[in-house]
Amino acid sequence: MTVSIQLEVNGKPVQAAVEPRRLLVHFLREDLGLTGANIGCETSLCGACTVLVDGNAVKSCTMLAAQADGASVTTIEGLSQNGELHPLQEGFWEKHGLQCGYCTPGMILSANYLLAQNPSPNDEEIREGLKGNICRCTGYHNIVEAVKYAAERMS
């Protein structure tokens, strides 16, 4: 049995028939080849699979693909415009806000949601806003710097 869904992914229309139990993250990674969203825990705790669904940061391992019917999804692959890095992508690279890079796509999309809600957050607000995304490499300090870098450029 499959469910028919229509949605927009990174600005492009997508139509698919998916198993009802298919998770959004598997749909994105395996059916659409968008492997930027990583799987780290399967239980919505690490945040590596975070994507934007209608502008909200969503952990795509705990949402069914069927639930995304009619939605607009943005993954890390859809963040840069016209070949230019998004200020957050630039910031994470520039400020050494990444090391192994596994949490980075999810971290950037959570930060993107944070900046949409609060365009000029202070350090504490950034730390609170990114609590749902675990980074094991950096100690978070440079991630905070990266988000501030982007906030400045986006304002």
Question: Interface with other proteins by CB under 8 A: which residues?
Answer: 19, 21-22, 26, 29-30, 34-43, 45-46, 48, 75-77, 79-80, 85, 89-90, 92-94, 96, 98-105, 108, 123-124, 126-128, 130-144
If the CB atoms of residues 69 and 90 are measured against other proteins, the closer one turns out to be 90
The minimum distance between CB 34 and other proteins, in angstroms, equals: 8
**Is the Cα torsion angle 143, 54, 73, 47 positive or negative in sign?**
positive
| DSSP calls for the chain | --EEEEEEETTEEEEEEE-TT-BHHHIIIIIS--TTS--S-SSSSS-TTEEEETTEEEETTSSBGGGGTT-EEE-GGGTSBTTBPPHHHHHHHHTT--SS-SSHHHHHHHHHHHHHH-SS--HHHHHHHTTTS--SSS-SHHHHHHHHHHHHHH-
The minimum distance between CB 60 and other proteins, in angstroms, equals: 13
The minimum distance between CB 155 and other proteins, in angstroms, equals: 20
The minimum distance between CB 2 and other proteins, in angstroms, equals: 13
If the CB atoms of residues 72 and 132 are measured against other proteins, the closer one turns out to be 132
